[in-house]
Amino acid sequence: MSKPLTLTRYPGNPILVPSLVNEWETDNVFNAAVVEHEGLIYMLYRAQGLDRVSRIGCAVSGDGYHFNRLQEPVFVPEEDYEAFGVEDPRVTRLDGWFYMIYTAYSSLGTRVSMARSRNLIAWERMGIILPDEDNKDAVLFPEKIDGRYAMFHRRIPDIWLAFSDDLLHWTDHQIIMNPRPGLWDGVRIGAGGPPFRTDDGWLCFYHGFAEERVYCLGLALLDLNDPSKVLKRQDEPILVPRAPWEVHGDVPNVVFTCGGVETDDKYLIYYGGGDHVMAVAAITKGEAMSLASVSKADVAEFTKG
Ligand code: BMA
């Protein structure tokens, strides 16, 4: 058995902490979408101030580690269906747009909703895209699959896949990953940011927890042409709350990702620690792809025996 893959934390973590001055973000800044645009890394983060309403702030970086924030949020609740907050954005670049899927929270419950932007600052609402159901952790694939848009979402406790022709009406809902009782992700799972295309499949970072409710991150590889097929899923988590800002926080024992970026040689995975701060951790592409070769080796081993 080869050593499980793990993410390596950036030593300068946390990379974004609550603001001392901006009222809307004095309590928590966490669960950010991260995307590259015109040579800069944009972080669209969930922020809470004393009123506990979630708004979305924006911070920008030249190197992916040092961020400067805008003083005002870029997306705030405006509609009844998001009266309690706009949460956990995931942003996907597709067809010249940035699409943000977020959790709209109100007395209705949590609704998967969408907005789009050309520049990541000015957002145009597209509305609730999964009506009449409590759902969250939805994220759009960065490419169409077989001519249709594809999205992960989460009906408790599983990760689902769905397809659409117009981004607004979603069909062919199917479960693609379940919790694995007895393992770290035995009770509930949900997708992270947009999956990364690799030669061997869609690389997916996701979150999960078991009875103790310790939110960890995991890694899976899905078939490129048919992402309902899980080619490989690591048994061990790839990141477990250990650092003080992950173990303590607004909610203890949480690492939760809504996005990452790829550089020439690695994946940078951004994550909320303790629902309180933002941090980043990395894995080289070479390592991440050994997930696929482990899979092939396992199959060879299995067929031998
Ligand atoms: C989930 C979401 C996340 C949060 C996580 C841990 O249900 O609300 O925003 O990070 O719980 O508290």
- Over the chain (305 residues), the average pLDDT of each successive run of 10 is 90 98 98 98 98 98 98 98 98 98 98 98 98 98 98 98 98 98 98 98 98 98 98 98 98 98 98 98 96 60 45
pLDDT at 295: 53
Q: State residue 209 phi and psi, 5-degree precision.
A: -150, 160
Q: Which of 185, 254, 255, 258 to mutate to test the pocket of ligand 1 (most atoms within 8 A of CB)?
A: 254
pLDDT at 292: 80
Indicate yes or no: pTM above 0.75.
yes
Whether 24 is in the pocket of ligand 1, judged by its Cβ within 6 Å, is no
How far apart are the C-alpha atoms of 63 and 83, rounded to whole Å? 35
Measure 211 CA to ligand 1 centroid, in angstroms: 15
Q: State residue 30 phi and psi, 5-degree precision.
A: -160, 175
pLDDT at 237: 98
| CATH fold of 16-302 | Tachylectin-2; Chain A (2.115.10)
Residue whose tokens read 């650092």: 243
pLDDT at 294: 60
Whether 215 is in the pocket of ligand 1, judged by its Cβ within 6 Å, is yes
Whether 251 is in the pocket of ligand 1, judged by its Cβ within 6 Å, is yes
How far apart are the C-alpha atoms of 273 and 261, rounded to whole Å? 18
Q: Which of 29, 31, 135, 159 to mutate to test the pocket of ligand 1 (most atoms within 8 A of CB)?
A: 31
Annotated domain spans of the chain: 16-302
The strand pairing partners of 130, in sequence order, are: none
pLDDT at 296: 53
pLDDT at 2: 74
How far apart are the C-alpha atoms of 152 and 149, rounded to whole Å? 11
